Structures are given as C-alpha cells and as structure tokens.
Structure 1
Amino acid sequence: MAEGVTDRLCAAYAAIGYDDLPESTVAACSRVLLDATGVMLAASGMAAEARPFIELAARSPGPCTILGTGLTAAAPQAALANGALAHALDYEDTFDAAFAHPNASLVPALLALAQEKGGIDGKRLIAAIAVGCDLSCRIGLALDRPMEEGGWYPPPINAAFGAALGAAHLLALDARALRDALSMMLCQAVMPGEIKYSQRTVLRAVREAFPAQAAVTSAQLAAGGVAGVEAPLEGRAGFYALFAGGEFSPERLTAGIGERFLVEELTFKPWPSCRGTHPFIEIGLELAAAGPDRIESIEVEVSPVQQMLVEPPERKRAPEVVIDAKFSIPFAMAVAIVRGRAGLDDFSAAALRDEAILAMARRISARIAADPALDRGAGGAATVRLKDGTHRRDQIPLARGAPSRPMSEDELAAKFADCASRAAVRPGEDQVRKLADAIRDPSAITNMRSLFEPIS
C-alpha cells in the first residue's frame, strides 16, 4: 500500500496558481472552456434527455447560469443541469491515453461555483481547470487493473475526482481541505457498467450531471470544515482498492505534477460521437467520396476496448436511442458513408429511422483484433468488399482530433459557433463572437459572473 499519495498530490496541487502555469497550459485550458461551453449550449437546444435535469435545477433559485436556457439556479443544481448537457451530445474533449472525459463534470462544477461565490476571476478558473483535468487524467493512467472488471463505468467516476479537486482549488482551499473534498467525492462517485447494456436508457448521455453536482457539494462541504478520510485514493478501502483491487502505480499518478499538465494532451472531437467510432467515421468519409453504391460489405477491425461499440450486432446496427447510435461503430460509419458527413444533425431521432443508413449499417460486421498498430481505441481498420469483386483495406492508426492530428484553431472556433447557434435560447452572431473572445482571453475576466453576459 502506497502511503501518503493523496497528501503528496494535494500538497502539490494546492501550491499551483495561474502564474505557475506555462503559456501552453493556459492556452489548452482556454480551449477546454471554449469547447465545453459550446457543447453545452448546443445540447440545451438539441438534447431532450437533459430537459428533466434543467427543469429540476430551475426550481432552486440562484445566480448560476444554466447554459443556453436563460435560466439560473443555485450552484449544485446548475452543475447538475450543465453536467447533463456537457456529455449529452458526446462532443466534448477526451483524453485518449486513459479513455477519459476529464472536463465534462469539471467545467460545469467550476462555472457554477464561480458564479455562486462571486469575485472569482478568469485566472483562478483556468488554474482550477488545469489541476482538476490533470488529476482526472492521472487517475486513469495509474490504473493497473481495468475498472470494468468490477462492473464499473470508468469515465465519469475518474472525472468526478478531478472535478472535486478542481472545485476545491477554485475556492482556494488548502491541501488538507482538498483531501477532504476528494474524501467526500469517494462517498458519492459511482457509475455502473450496466448503462452500457440497457438498450433504451439515456443515462449514458446525461451521466456527467451526477459527478458535476457531487463535485460542488464536496467542495462546499470541505470549505465548511467537514473532515474526510486520510487516504481517499490509496487507502486500504480507498478509491483504488474499491474500484481496481488496489492495483495501481503511485509513480504514474504523481510523476511530474506541476511540471507536465495533461490538459495539453487532450483530444477535441471533430464528430459528435464516442471517440472509438472516430477512426471508422474517418474511413467512412473516404468511402463516401468513392461511392456508397459500390459497397457490398465491410468488415471492421476493432480493439478489445471498442468491442462494446459493435456488440450486440443487431442492436448496434439499429440503435433505438440517439446516445446508443453515438456508441455504435456500424451506425456511425454508415452515417459517414451515406451522408458524406457526421455532424450534429446526422445523429438524431430522424437518422435512427433513415433506411439508407440502416441498410448500410447491416452490411458492416466486426472482428476483434488486438493489433498494436491501432492506437488503443482511437484507431481502427476496415476491409471493404466492393460489388465488382475487388477489395480495399483502410487503416487509421489514430483518428483526427488527437494532439498529433489536432483540429485547428479555426476549426475549433467554427465548432463553437455552430454549437452556440443551436442553443435553446439562440444568441446572435455578435453575441457568440463576444463570448468566444472573452473565453480566449481568460486573464481579462475579472468576475466570472459576467462571463455569460454577452449571451444573456
């Protein structure tokens, strides 16, 4: 048992402020805030699954913006609603190395707390993003045993601890109180793998609502002096013991804290679906240009991590709900082939009934291939049999959006503008531009309560 790991982490993170961040880290955090804000705005107008969360949150008066709605709420409830929005379209950033969505609960929690407390500037928000995202990524990297073996669904669980740490950091709590916030998150953070197997549930879409709200609660209770446990991560009944049988690497968890910020190593999504579908969307777009009518059949090669995106085959070829379509390689690939694109409008209730897409999805089969050339769930290959009897094989070792194949700043700006235009209460182009400019220069924001004034 590695004693003192949580204390070392919390001491290091408590000492980090905005002025300690490299320019590249500040820029990365600004991209996170821009992308997350845009995705939540789009979801407010497109994700019916989030509506009950918004309605519930709006019953609790407070100063915190529920993005895209014109409504406000108290901090825990605003975090709940915005957390539901943050992943509803499956369009937010990811950390490929650990299959994580480190910011989908973190950003909603930070925005809510900053607005409720008042007087918090953009620099403090950026520092909180940097440390919260960093911990979420490290928690996943340190695992030596997959959490799935215990029936858990890791992304929202791992992200919950980064969200709690980031929220406590935003409140300028000391190292012990950061540990207390992690302790209280340990009492709340769960997500069963059963959400992957239930055919009609939409919980997979709105899952980040729960850790986002829990992060706010954890930070507020820690600020109030509630004492937590001494070793919430490494203890004999702490995080790693409960979720991974105690099998983790303290070295991977702590190495280079304060020197290497993993927020700089995120993937920003070009397409609104599970990251594991992206290599096949990319291949599908190439096949669309060659002519969908020429295709007889396709066999995709997937890693074991992507197996959940192709099984059971019947369900994945004809998903019943939009979030399941976004977690389906056959459906996502068919969308790209048939429509020549895979945007927000292409994953919709109408698309689920598009016979051309369904017919193409039925032609796609899969086999599991533990191929080291395919990058752990963000790569893939496909063998295409054409009607003239010829074959072609396409391989994408690592799909677009990763740090080595990034979206450009112009592409990220266009994504934000497109997302913002789909909000439930739609802002004008000038409003969108002013909001984007404010997010790109966080050091100029003197009070986070004013951030969303351009679209209010």
Structure 2
Amino acid sequence: MATQELATWSVNLQYANFTAPVIAAAVTSLYNWAGCAIGGYQQTAPSIALNATSPHFGGPPTSSILGLANNSAQTDAQIAAFVNGIAGHVDDYDDTHLATIIHPTGTVAAALFAVAEWKGGINGSDFITAFVAGVEAELKLGLSVWPQHYDVGWHDTSTTGSIGAAVAVSKLLGLDIPTTQQAIGIAATQVIGMQEFFGSDTKSFHIGRAAQGGMIGALLAQNGFTSSLQGLEAQFGWVHVVSTRENVTAEFDTLGKSWEILQNTFKPYPCGIVMHPSIEGAIEVQSAALGKGLSISDITSVNARVNPETLVLTGQTDPETGLEGKFSVYHGVAVGLLFGEATPSQFTDAVVTNSTVVGLRKLVNVTTDSTVREDEAYISALFKDGTNVTQHIDHVIGSLDNPLSTDQLKAKFMGQASLVLGDARAEKAYEAFLDIGNMSDVGTIVQLFSGANASGTSGALGLDFKVIDVVVMAVVLGLVALLL
C-alpha cells in the first residue's frame, strides 16, 4: 500500500498545509539550486549534453536552459529537464539532506521548471506545493532504505530522485491517485545511478536523467501508460530490489507530520560534503599561520583527523581532474591552505594538476576517528621552524548547527550566476527566484533575467557561456606559489 499512500498524500497536499518555515525552506532550496544550475552551465558536461541531444531528439522548443537564460533559445521540456539537472549538480554545489546524503532539489526542480514553462499558467503556490511533494517523497523513500541502499553502491540522489520528480510533476499536472501511482511505477523502474561514476560527468548525468525519467513517467501515466500500482512495495518492486532493508510504510506514515525539507542544508564548498570540515579547518589554519608571519610554503606536513566517512567518500589521494578533486579530501585541504577558500575555481583541471597544489597535497596525512562527527574535523600543519598550527572545526559552516546565513546564500548565488549572466542579470535572477512564491506564472521566470550571456566560449544554440579561463588560473596559481 506504500505506493498508494504516497500518491494519496501527494494528491491531497495543499499549500495551506505548509508552515512558514517549510515555505521558506522550499524557496531557499529552489534559489540555491537555480544558482548552481546557472553557474554550472559553464562546465563542459551541460553543453555536451545539450549539443548531443537537441539536434536529434528535440521536439518543439518550449522550455529554457537556465544557464543560457534567453527566452529566444529554448528546447523541448524533456531535454531542458535533462540539461538543467546536469548543470545543477555538476559542480557538486547543490543542497544536501544530511540524514541520507541526498541532494533533493535538483531532480525535482529541473523537471518542474521544464514542465511549468511548457504548460504555462502555474502560479507560485502551486509550484511550491508540487516541489515540496516531490522532495518529501524522495527523502522519505531514501530514509526507508538507508543506509543499506547507499552502502551497496547506489547513488541515492538519482535512484530516489526520479520518483520524487514523478510525484512532483504528477502534482503539477493534477493527476488523480491511481494515475499518480502509475507515474511512480514508471519512474521507479528507471532506477539510475551508481557511485562508481563519482568524479566524472556521469555523476551529474544521474540527476539529469532522473529528472527526465520522472517527468516522462508522469506524462506517460497521464496518457494511459500502465505500470504497477505497487511499484514501490511489491515483492519485486523498488524497495526490495535496491535494498536489503525497507521501512517505507513507517516513513510514509510520517508524510506531512515531519518535514524532511526542514533538514535540508546548503553547501559552502563545491565538493563532497564530508570533506567540508577539513576544508574549513585548512582555511582557518592558513589564516592563523599567516597571522603568525608563517609562510605556507614552509609547511612540512599536514594532519587531518576526520570522521571515517570522509575517506570512504572522498579518499582519492591523486586526483587528475577537477571533478575527481571534488572527491579528494587531500585536495580540499591543500586548496584551503593555499587559497584560503574553496570555490568552483579551485576544483578545475588546472588547479588539480598544478605542481604547487600537488606538492602540498602529498604532505597531507588523513586519519579517521569514529569519535569525530561528520561535521567536525581537526587540522594541523607543521612548519619548518617547528611551529604547529592546529584548528578544530566543531560544526562546519553549512551544517544544521551552523547554517549559511541569508547573506551568505545570496553571495553564493551571485558568485555562481554572475559567472554566466554578469552581475546585473544575476541580481535580477536572484530576485526572481526569491519571489517565486508570489509569481502568477512560474513559466515566465527566465524572462525576468533573460538576455545575452557574459562573453566567453560559444555554447549550445548559438549563445555564449563563460568558462573558467585556464590560462588566467595558471597565472594565479603561479602568483600563489611565489607569494606563499
């Protein structure tokens, strides 16, 4: 009965059911993701995906790529959901539900924005209601099979995300309970995503494909396509196939009683979240060391004491690409010490392979300690003169106990969006997404900040998008090496 229970709850869900904190969490989740999707388009994966699919599979142009943000350049809703899903996750800068490590917004939002623009006339409150329905569906489902589902190697953001997207789009389309059940079933059978592909473009492909698959599931069901009304709980349904543990009925019984979206967090650094405490510790060590008149170039060894999950998920010792660097705590500590920050600019191929970065990375030793929490780390650096600088991160910024402030969230959005849109249009985009709940037609949101993108390498559909200038980055790294 779990599939029916989820469908029934979603169909009956109303905007009036939400408390003010739930609405605020939904809006924050949406604009945080939108900034990631706009900024993420500067990476190669989204434009490759668009260029590879739109000439061959594109239908009538109805929906926008957020990173192109020009209402004269659209593709069909299916490709838009796919490409925006990739763009929103490719930097690993999107939100995280810490209890499951699911990045909940991307799959649901990418599908919803594509459908809302194609369908037209979707107001802000209906959009937010559909969004929350999808997010709650995927997170409750993720909790029901955690941790066995993840531990065996599934990428739970995408395996649950396609179902969340199907629930959300079904809600937006006004599907009834049995039809929503069919949509859930069609999405469930498209289970996608394994951890083997972390550190490659395929990780973000998981999110794009899940958004696309969930949307297709709802559209097929709307048109009479059949699946199973027990797609989740049946003997050979989703929960029993993907996990040795299932507690889906108990989790779905809490729908609308406890809101998982309130447990969503937002990343200060664009990489695996378990290495965030180590990065923050390295940044604080750099600040303290420079305050003592020490030079980072005089470091002889670095020690990081971390939670065991840090090495499980981000234990790559010798990353060779920017994407691999996002799963290397060694790289994270090195750039924190060298740059005093960790932005998308520190997770490029040029930075990962820079000799100064590689040299410092090799000095980093990581030990695990089960008494250290996942949002905690101890970082110390030993210098040539014998000075040892140590910092303890109790609750890393971006955690539930130390969340990003509104100002920090806006700065993050602007930092990403301005790379592609420029400052003025990025400000317009921020205001548009912040006000999404008050819109009479969410499908027009891109028009509020559309225009010519910032100059750079020519992107898909004949528009421009800005990429990180490798030459400039190399110069910057050279200066860092000289100064430190």
Does TM-score exceed 0.5, indicating one fold? yes
Tell me which residue corresponds to 1:352. 352
1:374–1:396 CA contact under 8 A, matched in 2: no
Q: Are residue 323 (structure 1) and residue 345 (structure 2) matched?
A: no
Measure, in 2, the Cα distance between the counterparts of 1:189 and 1:420: 31
Q: Matched residues in 1 for 2:428 and 2:386: separation? A: 55
Determine the C-alpha separation between the residues in 2 that align with 1:381 and 1:164: 42
Structure 1 counterpart of 2:20, from 17, 20, 23 = 23
For 2:437 and 2:379, the matched residues in 1 are separated by 46
| One-letter code aligned to 2:17 | D
Match of residue 303 from structure 2 = 299
Corresponding residue SS for 1:82:
helix
The DSSP-based 3-state class of the residue aligned with 1:99 is coil
- Residue among 80, 88, 94 paired with 2:96: 94
Partner SS state of residue 349, structure 2: coil
Q: How far apart are residue 239 of structure 1 and its match?
A: 1.5
1:217-238 deviations in whole A, cap 9, x for unaligned? 1111121122321222222111
Task: Note closer, same or farther for the CA distance 1:303–1:176 as it changes in structure 2 (3 Å cut).
Answer: farther
* Structure 1 residue 345: Cα displacement: 1.6
Alpha carbons 1:57, 1:80 under 8 Å: kept: no
User: Aligned letter for 1:449?
Assistant: G
Report the CA distance shift for 1:118/1:57 in structure 2 as closer, same or farther (over 3 A).
farther
Per mean C-alpha deviation after superposition, the further-off stretch among 222-231 and 288-297 is: 288-297
Pairs within 5 Å for 1:254-269: 254-269=252-267
Distance (Å, rounded) in 2 between the aligned partners of 1:33 and 1:204 = 21
Partner of 1:134: 136
- Match in the other structure for 2:437: 443
User: 1:25, CA displacement in angstroms?
Assistant: 1.1
Whether 1:334 aligns to 2:334 is yes
| Counterpart Cα distance in 2 of 1:432 and 1:221 | 36
Structure 2 partner of 1:362: 362
Would the aligned equivalents of 1:105 and 1:160 in 2 still touch at CA under 8 Å? yes
Selected match of 1:124 from 123, 126, 144 = 126
Asked if structure 1 preserves the Cα contact closer than 8 Å seen for 2:140 and 2:248, the reply is no
Contact kept in structure 2, 1:134 and 1:162, CA below 8 Å: yes
Gaps spanning 5+ residues in structure 1: where?
A: none
The residue that corresponds to 2:46 in the other structure is 50
Runs of at least 5 residues in structure 2 that lack an aligned partner in the other structure: 290-295, 451-484
Letter in 2 for 1:432: A
What CA deviation, in whole Å up to 9, does each residue of 1:65-111 have, x standing for no partner?
01122331111111111111011111111111111111121111110
Q: Which of 160, 184, 196 pairs up with 2:186?
A: 184
Question: Hey, what does 1:454 align to over in structure 2?
Answer: 448
Q: How does 1:190-229 map to 2 (within 5 A)?
A: 190-196=192-198, 201-229=200-228
Distance of 2:341 and 2:380 partners within structure 1: 20
Whole-angstrom distance in 1 between the partners of 2:6 and 2:434: 29
CA RMSD of aligned residues (A): 2.0
For residues 413 and 444 of structure 2, what CA distance do their matches in structure 1 show?
19
Specify the alignment match of 2:247 in structure 1: 249
Deviations 1:303-339 (A, max 9, x none): 343223453xxxx343122111111100011101111
Judge conservation of contact 1:87–1:207 (CA < 8 Å) in 2: no
Quick check: 1:432 aligned with 2:429? no
State the Cα distance separating 1:449 from its structure 2 match.
2.1
Check conservation: 1:164, 1:215, Cα contact below 8 A. yes
Instruction: Check 1:151–1:411 CA distance in 2 against 1; reply closer, same or farther (3 A cut).
Output: closer
So what's the TM-score if we normalise by structure 2? Answer: 0.85
Aligned equivalents of 2:39 and 2:318: distance in 1? 25
One-letter code aligned to 1:126: I
1:418 correspondence with 2:415: yes
Deviates more, 1:432-441 or 1:163-172: 432-441
Contact kept in structure 1, 2:311 and 2:329, CA below 8 Å? no
Letter in 2 for 1:170: L
SS class of match (1:27): helix
Change beyond 3 A, Cα 1:282–1:80: same
1:317–1:358 contact (8 Å) kept in structure 2: no
1:235 and 2:234 matched: yes
